[in-house]
Structure 1
Amino acid sequence: MERLLSNIKISVPEKIYVKDPESSELGKRMVKHSIILIDEIGFEGFTFKKLGDRIDSNESSIYRYFESKHMLLLYITSWYWSWIEYQLVIETHNLTSAEKLRNAIRIVTRSVKEDTSFSHIDEVILHRIIVNENSKSFLTKEVDNENQEGYFVVYKRIIHRLRDMILEVNPEYPYPSSLASTIIEASLHQHFLKDHFVSITDCGNTVTPTDFLMNLVLNTITS
């Protein structure tokens, strides 16, 4: 898989950025250190000035790539979901319907390991940001306009893939889209709970979000 991914460019909707950060070393450093900085201080405390200080660059240079820190958050979350989508495509290829769904649930719910194919992005840190900050990319007053502009197309495409896999296993299941989106959001929520609110989740050292959601989904669509 690593050999395949090394030849693939992760695709992010072009309208999210002013200039593609993948097109220059400065842009890649910008993305790399924005991920590290958001992980350290949270999205609320993150500013382009702090990022500029971290990468020893003018704040104005960051605006040449992103209009705002919200757009930068949209970029890194879209990058993450695009990276997950490539794994879905590769790791579910040529499987039976049931195996495909099980593998897909594992991919979108498992703890993340570093992928050396992309040296400027630490996927482990990025996953923590997705767990903690992903909802902030769309819980805004501008969400409908941004949705029309296609900013969330990769995120929605993953849910559609899961929906189609659910229907392959059980074409009569009446709520495939709702279940597919629940898999994604419940996984992030359970990862958050096991790290911060251990008394209100069964996930932890022995039970993973994958275990819980695998049980939930398969029992739901086969009962």
Structure 2
Amino acid sequence: MDQLFQSVKIVVNEKIFVKDPESSKLGKKIIKQGIVMIAEMGFDSFTFKKLGEQIGSNESSIYRYFENKHKLLLYLASWYWGWMEYQLVFATNSIMDPKDKLKRAIEIVTRETKEDSSFSHINEVLLNKIVVNEYSKSYLTKEVDLDNREGYFVIYKRLVGRLSQMIRDYDATYDYPSSLASGILEGSLHQYFLIEHFKSLTDCDANTTPTHYFMDLVFKLLKNTADG
């Protein structure tokens, strides 16, 4: 099973990068150290010059992989959502009951992130921290429509589509499955942000997780016609 996971490659839109960072040791080093630095100092303070100093490489060598740091953030976010998608598909593929499948899906996309040994150059825990704190910066730009047309958000949109379909399979009478699906994904990030920074604005904590919250929200909102 471990060997199967190790053969998995998260495919990111090739338009996001100049050269695939997965194709070389330097590229993987850029990704690995870039994640560490952005998680520690924040995206606004992060620069390719600082990254180059940390990995012992010229700043120009980083530009051979990414046009700018915004493209690096898009790459990291795309990789994260691709990793989330592969977990979702693997965990739910054999579940036939629509309710059980939706429950498992919500658990997968809202649970606390654990490091995945299948990808040695990616610290998924730190990457999750970046997505929680910085993901909105990848799309809250004036270029978002162009980026969308280029397919930079296709993996995230595909993940929302998968979750939306599971909602429809469970309750075909519900009129807003895509809104609910994207709300679960974005809302989960927001709840983890609140837990870390604004504890008084959420009921989630170490004992009541975002998973508990969204399970309660979704299954009180939806009504399976078969159960009704």
Shared fold per TM-score greater than 0.5: yes
Counterpart-to-counterpart distance in 1, 2:86 and 2:204: 27
Q: Which amino acid aligns with 2:143?
A: E
SS of residue matched to 1:113: coil
Aligned ranges for residues 75-154 of structure 1 at < 5 Å?
75-95=75-95, 96-154=97-155
Q: Which amino acid aligns with 1:76?
A: L
Q: Deviations over 1:26-66 (max 9, x none)?
A: 00000000000001100000000000001010000000000
Where in structure 2 are there 5+ consecutive unaligned residues? none
Aligned match of 1:192 = 193
Report deviation, 1:4. 2.8
Counterpart-to-counterpart distance in 2, 1:4 and 1:110: 23
Counterpart-to-counterpart distance in 1, 2:32 and 2:219: 37
Aligned match of 2:177 = 176
Report deviation, 1:101. 0.6
What is the percentage of aligned positions where both structures have the same residue? 60
TM-score scaled by structure 2?
0.96
Counterpart-to-counterpart distance in 2, 1:3 and 1:199: 44
Report deviation, 1:117. 0.5
Q: Deviations over 1:73-98 (max 9, x none)?
A: 00001000000000011000121211
Counterpart-to-counterpart distance in 2, 1:49 and 1:139: 24
Aligned match of 2:10 = 10
Q: Which amino acid aligns with 2:161?
A: H
Counterpart-to-counterpart distance in 2, 1:11 and 1:2: 19
Aligned match of 1:220 = 221
Instruction: Tell me if structure 2 keeps the 8 A contact 1:2–1:115.
Output: no
Where in structure 1 are there 5+ consecutive unaligned residues? none
Q: Deviations over 1:179-221 (max 9, x none)?
A: 0000000000000001111111000011000000111011111
Counterpart-to-counterpart distance in 1, 2:202 and 2:223: 24
SS of residue matched to 2:113: coil
Report deviation, 1:104. 0.6
Q: Which amino acid aligns with 2:81?
A: W
Aligned residues: 223
Aligned match of 2:40 = 40
Aligned ranges for residues 33-72 of structure 1 at < 5 Å?
33-72=33-72
Q: Which has the higher helix share?
A: 1
TM-score scaled by structure 1?
0.98
Counterpart-to-counterpart distance in 1, 2:77 and 2:2: 21
Q: Which amino acid aligns with 1:174?
A: D
Q: Which amino acid aligns with 2:128?
A: H
Instruction: Tell me if structure 2 keeps the 8 A contact 1:39–1:129.
Output: yes
Counterpart-to-counterpart distance in 2, 1:135 and 1:7: 30
Counterpart-to-counterpart distance in 1, 2:15 and 2:219: 38
Give the CA RMSD over aligned residues: 0.9
User: Are positions 1:205 and 2:199 aligned together?
Assistant: no
